[in-house]
Amino acid sequence: MKCFYPALHKLEEVHLFYCRKLKTFQFESQEFQCPQAENQAIFLPKKVIPYLKFLAVSKEEIMMMLHGQFHVNNLSNLEALQLQCFHDDSDTLPYEFLQRLPNIENLIVCCSSFKEIFCTKRPTMDCVKEIIPQVKCLQLSSLSQLNSIGLEHSWVQHISENIQKLQIDKCHSLRSIVPSENSASAEEYVHRNCESLKEVVSEEVEELSGHVEEEIIVFHKLKTLSLRSLPNLGRFYNGNIELKFPSLLHLLLIDCSKMESFCAGTVSVNSWMEVQFKDEEDTEVDPFDEDTEVDPFGEKHAFLVEGDLNCAVRNVFEGYVLIPLSF
């Protein structure tokens, strides 16, 4: 593929995957040339960019933007950004580029060699608080070398405070997910297909100031927790500090064969909640597909739990019967 239809004045989404011979943007001022012309780009920025709400770009295209081949400010309507194909071991997240997109609410990072998302060292720029300040959903997929998300770093606090949904898929080097002081504001965690993940909340959380109050970790807003196909997950949390989930309504816990209990200490919920331990049907569901209308908490394999969630999870793995959802 080397060319595309020229009249795309109201295009809202652009997805580009593995089109190595395809030039995405035409940076010259001339009109669209003959479709058969060699190296003809598919989009004219002046006609396409202002309308975009979703953009998936590679490292190469971002470098073109940063080098001034068109104004990134024209992306003011962009709501979702997907970063992909950063394959050099030395690659880091393009913070300078993200700083120019203040209205992004959904950040997707996939198919890259990043070792960390938010680096330990503060980026060398004047105002780090301008880096995706409105992001509400962070999706990480197919990052085989990722070993740290970095939400615990102090310079990322303005980001972690706003994240409502954290989705992680196929990040096989990730061993734990350390929430920052404000990570308890998240409403949904979806983690799946991470071969090395041993715990979701690291014991290091005990050392973070402000995260523990009277030896209790409270996930104030978390409503949905989905843990699927995590073969080395031992517990959600290995520490002894008590966990509380006052807002939790749904827990999905599927294909976590090494999990014996939810945590080492006690864990409580304030009201009856649904817990699903098996799929009703053997179907694959893409957790990043917003258009998929599938209820992950099927009645056949879901149970009602109140009070000690840790005890309920242990009973299920030991073969005891819980209260099934009513039909």
> How many other CB atoms sit within 10 Å of the CB of residue 194?
27
Strand ranges in 86-240 using DSSP code E only, listed in sequence order: 106-110, 137-141, 165-169, 188-192, 216-218, 224-228
29 domain-assigned: no
User: What's the pLDDT band for 24 if we cut at 50, 70, 90?
Assistant: low
Comparison of pLDDT for 93 and 26, the residue scoring more? 93
Q: Is 60 exceeded by the pLDDT of residue 23?
A: no
Provide, rounded to the nearest whole percent, the portion of the chain with pLDDT above 90: 27
pLDDT above 70: percentage of residues in the chain: 65
**Sign of the C-alpha dihedral, residues 325, 230, 211, 213?**
positive
Weakest-pLDDT range from 42-51, 132-141, 186-195: 42-51
pLDDT tens readout for residues 91-129: 899 998 898 888 999 999 999 999 999 998 888 877 777
The pair phi, psi for residue 6, each rounded to 5°, is: -80, -30
pLDDT on residue 263: 87
Is 117 within the bounds of a domain?
no
208 in Cβ contact with 272 (< 8 Å):
no
In this predicted structure, the answer to whether residue 216 has a pLDDT above a threshold of 70 is yes
Residues 6+ apart with CB under 8 A from 73: 100
- Determine the 3-state secondary structure of 316 from DSSP: helix
pLDDT beyond 80 at 296:
no
What is the radius of gyration, based on Cα positions, of the chain?
A: 22
Residue 196 banded pLDDT, cuts 50, 70, 90: very high
Place of tokens 């071991």: 89
Check pLDDT > 70 for residue 297.
no
Q: Which of 51-65, 163-177, 244-258 holds the top average pLDDT?
A: 163-177
Residue of higher predicted confidence among 227 and 276: 227
At residue 2's C-alpha, the angle toward residues 114 and 6, to 5°, is 105
Whether residue 172 lies inside any domain: the answer is no
Model pLDDT, residue 269: 84
Range with lowest mean pLDDT among 16-30, 71-85, 195-209 = 16-30
Query: What does the pLDDT look like over 72-98, one tens digit per residue?
Result: 666 778 899 999 989 998 889 999 889
pLDDT at 179 over 70: no
**Of the candidates 173, 202, 317, 315, the residue with the CA atom closest to the CA atom of residue 254:** 317
pLDDT (0 to 100) of residue 69: 55
Confidence of residue 165 (pLDDT cuts 50, 70, 90): very high
Would 236 be classed as within a structural domain? yes
d(CA 234, CA 226): 15
Question: Domain for residue 132, yes or no?
Answer: no
Per the structure, the complete domain to which residue 224 belongs is given by 193-282+295-327
Pairwise pLDDT comparison (163 vs 33), residue with the higher score: 163
Predicted pLDDT of residue 300: 45
Q: How far apart are CA 131 and CA 97, in angstroms?
A: 9
- 227-233 average pLDDT score: 95
* Predicted confidence band of residue 318 (pLDDT cuts 50, 70, 90): low
CA–CA gap between residue 120 and residue 270 (Å, rounded): 36
pTM for this structure? 0.79
Name the 3-class secondary structure at 106: strand
Say which range, 102-111, 154-163, 273-282, has the weakest mean pLDDT: 273-282
Contact 253, 300 (CB under 8 A): no
**What's 208's DSSP letter?**
S
Number of structural domains in the chain = 1
Amino acid at 96: E
The answer to whether 325 and 299 are in contact (CB under 8 A) is yes
Residue 139 lies inside a defined structural domain of this protein: no
Strand segments (E) across 165-218: 165-169, 188-192, 216-218
Average pLDDT of the residues in 47-71: 76
SS3 226: strand
Between these two residues, 178 and 90, which has the higher pLDDT value?
A: 90
- In the prediction, which pLDDT does 21 show? 57
User: What pLDDT score does 283 carry?
Assistant: 47
Arithmetic mean of pLDDT, 311-327:
60
Tokens (6 digits) for 254: 């599927």
